[in-house]
Amino acid sequence: MSGEYSAEDFWRFDIRVGAVLAAERVQGSQKLIKMVVDLGSESRTIVTGIADEHDPTELVGKKMLFVANLIPKKIFGIESRGMLLLAEDDKKRTYLVVVDDVVPVGAKFY
C-alpha cells in the first residue's frame, strides 16, 4: 500500500451502487468496454479497461460500485462519466465486486 490520506480525502468521492444495463467491447480496442449504467437518478455511459479479463456479457445485470463524481473523460472518442471499482490481486488480475441484490441502485457507499 502506498501513502496515507485523511478521511476527508475519501469523502470527496461519490461512490454509488449502479446496475449495468448494457455492455459492449469498444471497437478497435483490446481492453475497453463501454457500459450503460443505472445510478438511480440517471443512466450514464462509463468506459472501463477490463475486456482482456472480463466479457461484457458477464457485466450486464450486475450491481457494482462506481465513482460518480469524476470529471468526464473522452476515451476512444466516448465520453466516460464515472469509474467502475474493482479488486486487483498482486498479479494484476482483476475481480468484479458485485453488490447484493437487496441494495438499491443509487445507494451511496461509505
Residue 65, domain CATH: 2.40.50.140
Tell me the pLDDT tens digit for each residue of 55-66: 999 999 999 999
Query: Is 52 a domain residue?
Result: yes
Per the CB < 8 A criterion, the answer to whether 82 and 55 are in contact is no
Tell me the pLDDT tens digit for each residue of 6-64: 999 889 999 999 999 999 999 999 999 999 999 999 999 999 999 999 999 999 999 99
Query: Is 1 a domain residue?
Result: no
Query: Is 102 a domain residue?
Result: no
pLDDT reported for residue 1? 57
Q: Please give the DSSP secondary-structure letter assigned to residue 58.
A: G
What are the backbone dihedrals phi and psi of residue 74, each rounded to the nearest 5 degrees, phi first?
-85, 125
Query: Is 101 a domain residue?
Result: no
C-alpha cell at 41: 437518478
The pTM for the full model equals: 0.92
Query: Is 5 a domain residue?
Result: no
Q: Please give the DSSP secondary-structure letter assigned to residue 17.
A: E
Query: Is 109 a domain residue?
Result: no
Give me the domain span that covers residue 80. 10-96
Number of structural domains the chain divides into: 1
C-alpha cell at 74: 473522452
Query: Is 89 a domain residue?
Result: yes
Query: Is 16 a domain residue?
Result: yes
